[in-house]
Amino acid sequence: MCKIKTVSEYIEIINSMERTGSLYRGQCDINFKLTPSIFRNIENEIAKNKKQIMDELENGGISDEDHETLLSMLIPSTKEVLKKREISAIRIFMAESAPYLNQPVESYLEILALAQHHGLPTRLLDWSLSPLVALYFSVETNGANDAVVYILKNSQWIDETEFKKHSTLGIEDYLDKIDNEMINNIFMPKHITPRIKSQQGVFSIHSLNAPEFQPSEIEKITIDGNYRKEIRNELRQLGIGERTIYPDLYGLCKELKALKLECND
């Protein structure tokens, strides 16, 4: 698919697709994987541990047999360690986030969504029901590479009863259930913040055993990285800008910075 340089080109491509049930995610760098942030930590940890094993082999610190054994255990052992860290972080978030919330959170899925939305690495990916919101996020920041919007087709939504169905489980058992049963499903949290609402946000939840989507589930539109500024300006004219994406003081200041203080933006 060719690169787009204008919003009108983007809309033309979107309109040519079957949009029923589609979700959209913009990423500022086409080279970034479509993977939840916590699983990127796993990939980095595996690469680091693999290098240590190879260095030990080259230095004579381990035998060929031990080398093969360690490599075979590397992925499952690394996943287990990072899953324990994930559980620890979620437990602390659950214990200490209550004073900042206006209403109680009813399920683990909502807890994960709130944590994800406020910057904690989780097994969730943010998506939008709006293709224009996704386009905004793809060009929000400048960069050397092209940007991309991913389109998730025929998404499978989690039934609302799932929000409370397993509330009696501990967080460790709940994450085990996700790993074994809930493969890349979509949900919209009931505990919606103003930002999630403005961004028409939904989330996909990913199993540790299958963190990535199948190629047949995904389409993508490449955005020419040299036209980020022009596309941002076009989106503002359509009412998609800093203040609509971030309906708070942060969004106001972000817009003022872009329009009034950054002449070269």
Question: What is the rounded average pLDDT of the residues 223-237?
Answer: 96
Residue 229 has pLDDT above 90, yes or no: yes
Residue 217 has pLDDT above 80, yes or no: yes
pTM, full prediction: 0.84
What are the φ and ψ backbone dihedral angles of 250, each rounded to 5 degrees?
Answer: -60, -45
Between 207 and 255, the more confident residue is 255
Identity at 156, one-letter amino acid code? Q
Report the length, in residues, of the chain: 265
Contact 214, 190 (CB under 8 A): no
Between 24 and 57, the more confident residue is 24
Residue 142 has pLDDT above 80, yes or no: yes
Per-residue pLDDT of 72-97, as tens digits, reads 666 677 778 888 889 999 999 999 99
What are the φ and ψ backbone dihedral angles of 202, each rounded to 5 degrees?
Answer: -135, 175
What are the φ and ψ backbone dihedral angles of 92, each rounded to 5 degrees?
Answer: -65, -40
The DSSP code for 207 is B
Residue 37's Cβ-count burial label (10 Å; 0-12, 13-18, 19+) is middle
Residue 65's pLDDT is what?
62
Inter-CA distances, 143 with 55, 62, 139, Å: 35, 43, 9
The DSSP code for 158 is P
Inter-CA distances, 255 with 139, 225, 232, 239, 243, Å: 14, 21, 11, 12, 6
User: Which of the four pLDDT bands, split at 50, 70 and 90, describes residue 234?
Assistant: very high
User: Chain-wide mean pLDDT for the chain?
Assistant: 85
Residue 31's pLDDT is what?
94
Count of other CB atoms within 10 angstroms of residue 225: 19
Residue 32's pLDDT is what?
92
Contact 231, 132 (CB under 8 A): no
